[in-house]
Chains A and B, each alone.
Chain A
Amino acid sequence: MADKIEGTEALRSVPALLRRNATAYANAPAYREKEYGIWQSWTWAQTADEVEALALGLLNLGVAEGDFVAIIGRNRPYLYWSIVAAQMVGAVPVPLYQDASAEEMEFVLGHCGARFVVVADQEQVDKVIEIQEGLHQFEHMIYLDPRGLRKYDHSHLHQFSHVQEQGRAARDEYSAELARRQAGKGYDDTCVMLYTSGTTGKPKGVVLSNRNIIETAKNSAEFDHLRADDEVLAYLPMAWVGDFIFSIGQAYWTGFCVNCPESPETMMTDLREIAPSYYFAPPRVFETQLTSIMIRMEDAGSIKKKLFHHFMGHARKVGPRILDGEPVGLLDRLHYKLGEALVFGPLKNTLGFSKVRVGYTAGEAIGPEIFDFYRSLGINLKQLYGQTEASVFITQQPDGQVRSDTVGVPSPGVEIRIAESGEVFYRSPGVFVEYYKNAESTADTKDAEGWVATGDAGFIEESTGHLRIIDRAKDVGAMADGAMFAPKYVENKLKFYPNILEAVVFGAGRDRCCAFINIDLTAVGNWAERNNIAYASYQELAGHSRVLDMIQAHIEEVNVSVAQDEMLSGCQVHRFLVLHKELDADDGELTRTRKVRRKIIGEKFGDLVEALYDGSGSIYTETEVTYEDGRKGKITATLEIRDAKVMPVAPKAMAAE
């Protein structure tokens, strides 16, 4: 259907897709948001009307073509409309992470020179006011929720609904101009600018064109047969490219409905009520859910527990095979059906996964046990590999070819090349235009023929054609004896244990590997409760000797499994410590998308790294922490350092022979 429309009308921008949807799916829901306890909804026709009113309002405020309009807040229909309205008037929308600190925001707003900012509430208004001194181009701010803002100086501050009202009132005056600006938009003009979270250095503004977004949305929607009656829950940060592709690109291309939760705390309830058919979550969300299911099953009655374990055991055996359409015996199928009625069905319903037709996880490696758990329930969970510079998709797993250790085959339209260094390169219609105001980085990343370096090392499996990622190319190094060092590989193995939230492995240029561990407070806290271990704080629990015993056992198991890999057997963890604080994005230790910033952690906890290598049994340390409101404090701790048993490694000479 989409192809036919393409023939009659050029669909070369998001506003153009909106116009099509307003006619083709006029009365179908485009957006829903739970507010006042009820799912409020807007049809595509209503959405087009709201967006147009806002666009006229923006013209009224003086938004010029090529201006940058920053958008800050949680997922709400109004903010999505702001993105499209900005595109309508020829401006460039720049969504920002809402939990960014004022300094981070100042950098981004200053870098793109945003003249207009659309924000959700008082908190964000305050942040922007705090930094506006340093922003020379900033002029007007539009806010959604008027609460607490009555007394603010409104000379540069406007309420969202008023901007729309003024836009509607000035329709006659500006509609010609609006039509002119929309007609002027080409396929290669900028659609959106997204800032990468940056595991190293300052964020970079990735410029994506209409072609990037629409071609990608079209290809990926066809790959997974997305339909106009699909439902998604938009709960991941709007500044993240994934949300832009799912909630704007694919939603506008296929015309499905985007549902926004009532608040971040109600996300799980809202997920259950909406029961999306197309769902995306980073591995962490799946891990947390699985942990909470397991904790609740521990507390359940004995009959329920037995039923659960019996049928889950069977599901692990045959569930994934049934999902992949492989032959499974009749008896096993009936057994599985019974499990579906008694256990899997109700469980999926509680989780909000009853209707999931296509589910994706990406961003990090997912533990095989976690992945298999969801697949054995009959949830079509798949992996994809992508990045902002590719408009998400590089590789993804087709239905029926799903495995936990690969990231799939090249997405439609994507070419993949593995360089001699092992780094993965790709070329696709989704490849970004440039890094804004950073020609040097652009040239470093993208060559003249359009090949982009991913920064990840990997290889393509001969037999299946699937891509496997080993680690960040930058992080893959050599140890003192020349053996290959791939920290992420070991960290992922560690993180697959529910008790371990984060792990950071050191070892580049050293004679052996050592690790920092972060415990998972929910899992370990529950374990402590069941074992009558009293603790008053995170720090105390993290330093408890029985917790250390448990972590040590996990590490030793991982060492056994690492030792089996010929290439990486040198990466076994010899010594470790459990950190006294949780690694946090507010302290700069993680990115906003919760990826470990290895170098910063290594520098910040330099004393601890030294202690790991100099053989001392414990170390006293002081750490500065940043609270949510920006105040700084200090925590001190004496950490115990333990040795873990390692497996003997076959001498190199024998392996080489």
Chain B
Amino acid sequence: MKDTEGYVTADGRQIGGVLMEMKNITLKFGGVVAIKDISFDIREGEVRAIIGPNGAGKSSMLNIISGFYTPSEGEVWYKGAKRPPMKPFEVARQGVARTFQNIALFEGMTVLDNVMTGRLTHMNAGIASQALWWGKARDEEIANREKVEEVIDFLEIQSIRKTPVGRLPYGLKKRVELARALAAEPSILLLDEPMAGMNVEEKEDMSRFILDVNDEFGTTIALIEHDMGVVMDISDRVVVMDYGKKIGDGTPDEVRSNQDVIDAYLGVQH
């Protein structure tokens, strides 16, 4: 597969060229090697999953993509250019938004305000204008609110719009996090274990929303998930990691029949 060419998924969606490419990434913490020489790409419009057993280095990989970690070796290419070491907020400005494994919302603020913070990267009115809520700040807020309301409508959280996040159940908080990430109108949406701790019904809802986001907005999605069933159902291509190494990469069917992957998940007899 060439970088600029796309492919067609099993359910008939056209996937575009490479949006982000990880080239020979290695990440060390002192003497500990968390990630060892991993390369893969994320293509425009696809749902890309990173799976692996506990401690495989999945979250570290996500943190590299989001700019929280800088790789010890290797390069990150984004939109056809090599990405210099950056602060996370700079990466966010480039169109990479994420959700967190352990919900990171402002508990005392309402759902609406939380989702509005997702629009921060789209606000650039000056401090005076903001304080007086006059001119540019006001126009911006109206435009941003409109976008936020679209997301609220999309994720069906109208009824909790004015509810402080702290009063919401876990499943809904996860959805609010997704809303905040979506409000940033990202090119790539990173989801860190979006279904962790959910019951079957909540998982089904979340899967539906992830697929709908991909379908409606064409957002590229990279996600980490433990639940194999969910991953295999919703993703187009899967990277499998084990002990910091890549042991498989391909469509869910390819990955499922990969002997290394089976060994990593089911264990091998020594």
Chain A contacts to B: CB under 8 angstroms? 35-38, 147-148, 150-151, 262-263, 265-266, 269
Contacts and interface: CB of A to CB of B under 8 A. Distances in A.
Return the 3 tightest CB-CB contacts between A and B, nearest first: A265-B159, A36-B149, A266-B159
A37 B12 contact: no
Contacts of A147: 154, 212, 216
A28 to B, nearest CB: 26
Given A36-B153, A37-B152, A263 B158 contact: yes
Contacts of B12: 151
A263 B159 contact: yes
Contact of A36 (B150, B215, B216): B150
Nearest to A148: B212
Contacts of B145: 37
Contacts of B216: 147, 150
7 contacts: A36-B152, A38-B149, A147-B154, A148-B215, A150-B216, A151-B11, A269-B159
B183 to A, nearest CB: 13
A262 B212 CA distance: 20
A269 B11 CA distance: 41
Interface string B197-217: 000000000000000100110
Contacts of B3: none
Contacts of A265: 158-159
Nearest to B13: A151
B146 interface: yes
B159 A150 contact: no
Given A36-B146, A37-B152, A262 B215 contact: no
A262 B216 CA distance: 21
Nearest to B161: A37
Nearest to B150: A36
Contacts of A36: 146, 149-150, 152-153
Contacts, number: 32
A35 B158 CA distance: 9
A509 B103 CA distance: 62
Contacts of B253: none
A150 B12 CA distance: 12
B90 interface: no
Given A262-B158, A263-B158, A263-B159, A150 B153 contact: no
Interface in B148-164: 149-150, 152-154, 156, 158-159, 161
A318 B216 CA distance: 58
A263 B157 CA distance: 10
Contacts of A35: 153
A146 to B, nearest CB: 9
Sort chain B's interface into a size bin. Answer: 10 to 19
A651 B149 CA distance: 69
A262 B149 CA distance: 12
B24 to A, nearest CB: 37
Given A36-B149, A151-B215, A262-B158, 9 more contacts: A35-B153, A36-B146, A36-B150, A37-B112, A37-B149, A37-B161, A147-B212, A147-B216, A151-B11
A147 B155 CA distance: 11
A37 B12 CA distance: 35
Nearest to B146: A36
B215 A263 contact: no
B81 to A, nearest CB: 31
Contacts of A151: 11-12, 215
A262 to B, nearest CB: 5
A421 B216 CA distance: 62
A147 B214 CA distance: 12
A37 B148 CA distance: 10
Interface string B73-114: 000000000000000000000000000000000000000100
B1 to A, nearest CB: 23
A247 B159 CA distance: 24
B138 to A, nearest CB: 16
B158 to A, nearest CB: 5
B158 A266 contact: yes
Nearest to A267: B159
Nearest to B147: A36
Contacts of B154: 147
Nearest to A263: B158
Nearest to B112: A37
A298 B217 CA distance: 47
Nearest to B162: A269
A149 to B, nearest CB: 10
Contacts of A148: 212, 215
A262 B162 CA distance: 14
Contacts of B212: 147-148
Contacts of B159: 263, 265-266, 269
A37 B158 contact: yes
A269 B161 CA distance: 11
Contacts of B215: 148, 150-151
Nearest to B211: A148
A631 to B, nearest CB: 13
A147 B150 CA distance: 12
A37 B216 CA distance: 21
B145 to A, nearest CB: 8
A263 B155 CA distance: 12
Contacts of B11: 151
A633 to B, nearest CB: 14
B161 to A, nearest CB: 7
A9 B159 CA distance: 45
A90 to B, nearest CB: 35
A496 to B, nearest CB: 30
B155 to A, nearest CB: 11
A218 B161 CA distance: 40
A263 to B, nearest CB: 5
Interface string B136-178: 0000000001100110111010110100000000000000000
A263 B158 CA distance: 8
Task: Output the residue of B150, B156, B159 with the most chain A CB within 10 A.
Answer: B159
Nearest to A262: B158
B113 to A, nearest CB: 13
Interface string B57-75: 0000000000000000000
A35 B154 CA distance: 11
A266 B216 CA distance: 24
Contacts of B150: 36
Task: Output the residue of A35, A37, A38, A269 with the most chain B CB within 10 A.
Answer: A37
A537 to B, nearest CB: 15
A263 B161 contact: no
A269 B160 CA distance: 10
A342 B29 CA distance: 65
B204 to A, nearest CB: 10
A243 B114 CA distance: 38
A496 B212 CA distance: 45
B29 to A, nearest CB: 43
Nearest to B151: A36
A140 B215 CA distance: 24
Contacts of A37: 112, 145, 149, 152, 158, 161
A261 to B, nearest CB: 10
Interface in B1-18: 11-12
A266 B158 CA distance: 7
A637 to B, nearest CB: 23
A263 B149 contact: no
A263 B215 CA distance: 23
Nearest to A35: B153
Interface string B214-247: 0110000000000000000000000000000000
